[in-house]
Structure 1
């Protein structure tokens, strides 16, 4: 087990309390102050809930007791959600996600050997969310921020260690940021193996305008003249792409933003473009140190990361961030990012959601988020019925 005591050597502060404080401080330091502010009161109550039951961090780290404790906590949240004037089911699930995120941080910080909140036995006790989209994945704000925090931390650590060798980590962070905030489809910025059209070969720097905050992508419009579209690049996506540009230093404008790191694909491109120049590709690579540096030196654009490769990146990052994916999913999938940010904007401004998602008609956007409209109509009808009954 990763922990065996509950108190620090010099004071009686519970180990779970120290873990919560470290987790919130880490969120603040990494630019997630809003998340930390929302999670703080929930985690404080969780610590109190544990204390009232004489449960400690050691209990959470126990293979048997840990899932039992979290199952009891999930039941506690379910009771709160069914009580008169209690919290909503979605709020109960959000509270649980905050606790799970903190415990996941504990695993990464070696305070815990596993995250008991992620067991099915515990999660099945959470209240069901009415209108939950079981057939389509949506990234919640908490999932998005946890994934971004992890990807940003990886990129930051790699840049500190060796700035110009940190390409893969900064690429992964930028990919998550673009998917999370720009509302793009994976095939609009990554290479599609079965579609060789220009615009399905991966986003190029020549189609990115960081100053304007836009990028040009091949969308899904049925109208030929409207397929190339200018997509928005909100601040977090622009910032991540700016860092990627400085690390990557693309030698030509037509360089892919998200390069493939697949060695066989890089070697195949080198042989395709450089074979027959008098020296073998092996000799040329040996002179440059690796095949990626050879392609850069020769200004030969490497293949872009594929859609399958992008999913592999997200699968790896989801596991590393200890994010709880939606029920039945193994990881946070690319299209769930588009649906998630679209839903968040739709609740604020229907037109903004339509613009970000680049839907030609608002009716298309409404079709995607009918559950929001239905829930709002229900609240309005209930209010009118209550007024009529007075």
Structure 2
């Protein structure tokens, strides 16, 4: 066994060196798993160093009990509105399980005789491990994303077949497809691109906020600051097609306008007068009149966006949806992050979702980390 002098610590394997070896031995594991293991165990090593523990051999059951208590206090902080830096119980267990996996590796390679994290007293301070049902959230799965996108694509294609659908119907289908593609692939929050009646600053994005060639759009983020968000080709292509058909009189017009007839009627009445509105709409649709008269519509609202998704989800053959359930806009955001987290790692998911705190990303996708822990533990015990 290797030994090193760690500045007054007992002779033994320095924790940092052990982590490097552990990560090297897990080269065949997913990059995401190794990245998360390194991040969590590095934080734990800092916890150990603050308590004058710098080698594997010095890690005790009492130390792990103190670590469990530390995590429990962070969970309590997370339940308080007055304290920052809190975490959920599921995240606390994710962190503890990563450290335990590291110590299990140390046992496997004879650095430790047993895993102190797995001893009963060490875990007593941990919060109850939540069941999966306590923190289930909707995440658009790939099959669901493909189903709803294929459905809105077919609706657009159908509207263009001879005889071509009237302008209001054609535009509604193009708008719906562009909206679904945007939330399905960009990872933005619904309230960042449509109107929020409860926030006067959130009026919905306009075409001046969108650069289809660059694949970006400027949004008002959760932090109340304007920031860029990505528009992958899968989203920018439907948006381009919508823009060309829409042909708004000004790029100040909303990207996702409300086509709600009563809303358009009030807007036209306000701009044209009720008599002129009634005269113009006698033979033409309200939306057509608004375009011709240059009367700018308002953006669809957050509730309107949810209504769109309810309508589309009910009509499309979306797998794994219970009766009455629909694909929620925020479920699209989580689905984007989930796929990026699995395929590209924690940092890419965090950057795409624009989480200021990496812990938020870890908390949201702790179920993936737990699954990868299970795979790692399967590998550890494969020979038994």
* Pairwise CA distance, 1:381: 3.3
Partner of 1:185 in structure 2?
189
Q: Report 1 or 2 for greater relative contact order, CA contacts < 8 Å, sequence distance ≥ 6.
A: 2
Residues 187-238 of structure 1 show CA distances to partners (whole Å, capped at 9, x for unaligned) of 11112222221xx2122111010000011111112xx5xx211110111101
Partner of 2:325 in structure 1?
330
| Candidates 169, 177, 182, aligned match of 1:173 | 177
- The Cα RMSD (Å) is 2.3
* Pairwise CA distance, 1:291: 2.4
Paired residue secondary structure (1:193):
coil
Is contact 1:273–1:300 with CA below 8 Å preserved after alignment? yes
* Pairwise CA distance, 1:172: 0.8
Q: Partners in 1 of 2:161 and 2:244 — Cα distance?
A: 14
What stretches of structure 2 of length at least 5 have no aligned partner?
1-130
Partner of 1:317 in structure 2?
312
Distance 1:375 1:135, change over 3 A: closer
Q: Partners in 2 of 1:180 and 1:324 — Cα distance?
A: 16
Paired residue secondary structure (1:280):
helix
Determine whether 1:258 maps to 2:260: no
Distance 1:264 1:280, change over 3 A: same
Partner of 1:234 in structure 2?
232
Determine whether 1:215 maps to 2:220: no
Residues 47-84 of structure 1 show CA distances to partners (whole Å, capped at 9, x for unaligned) of xxxxxxxxxxxxxxxxxxxxxxxxxxxxxxxxxxxxxx
| Candidates 192, 204, 207, aligned match of 2:206 | 204
With 321-330 and 311-320 compared, the bigger mean Cα shift is at: 321-330
Is contact 1:139–1:336 with CA below 8 Å preserved after alignment? yes
Q: How does 1:2-81 map to 2 (within 5 A)?
A: none
Q: Partners in 2 of 1:298 and 1:328 — Cα distance?
A: 43
Q: How does 1:155-170 map to 2 (within 5 A)?
A: 155-161=156-162, 162=164, 165=167, 166-170=170-174
Distance 1:337 1:375, change over 3 A: same
Is contact 2:143–2:319 with CA below 8 Å preserved after alignment? no
Distance 1:156 1:331, change over 3 A: same
Q: Partners in 2 of 1:194 and 1:270 — Cα distance?
A: 24
Partner of 2:79 in structure 1?
none
Q: How does 1:286-297 map to 2 (within 5 A)?
A: 286=282, 289-297=284-292
Q: How does 1:144-159 map to 2 (within 5 A)?
A: 144-159=145-160
Paired residue secondary structure (2:218):
strand
Q: Partners in 2 of 1:164 and 1:247 — Cα distance?
A: 12
* Pairwise CA distance, 1:379: 2.2
> What's the TM-score once normalised by structure 2's chain length?
0.60
Residues 79-113 of structure 1 show CA distances to partners (whole Å, capped at 9, x for unaligned) of xxxxxxxxxxxxxxxxxxxxxxxxxxxxxxxxxxx
Q: Partners in 1 of 2:133 and 2:371 — Cα distance?
A: 12
Is contact 2:148–2:313 with CA below 8 Å preserved after alignment? yes
Partner of 1:364 in structure 2?
360
Paired residue secondary structure (2:250):
coil
Q: Partners in 2 of 1:346 and 1:320 — Cα distance?
A: 30
Residues 263-302 of structure 1 show CA distances to partners (whole Å, capped at 9, x for unaligned) of 11001111222339xx63222444x823222322232210
| Candidates 339, 345, 363, aligned match of 1:344 | 339
Is contact 1:137–1:326 with CA below 8 Å preserved after alignment? no
Q: Partners in 2 of 1:264 and 1:188 — Cα distance?
A: 24
Partner of 2:46 in structure 1?
none
Q: Partners in 2 of 1:191 and 1:218 — Cα distance?
A: 11
* Pairwise CA distance, 1:160: 2.9
With 353-362 and 235-244 compared, the bigger mean Cα shift is at: 353-362
Partner of 2:136 in structure 1?
135
What count of residue pairs does the alignment treat as equivalent?
A: 250
Partner of 2:241 in structure 1?
243
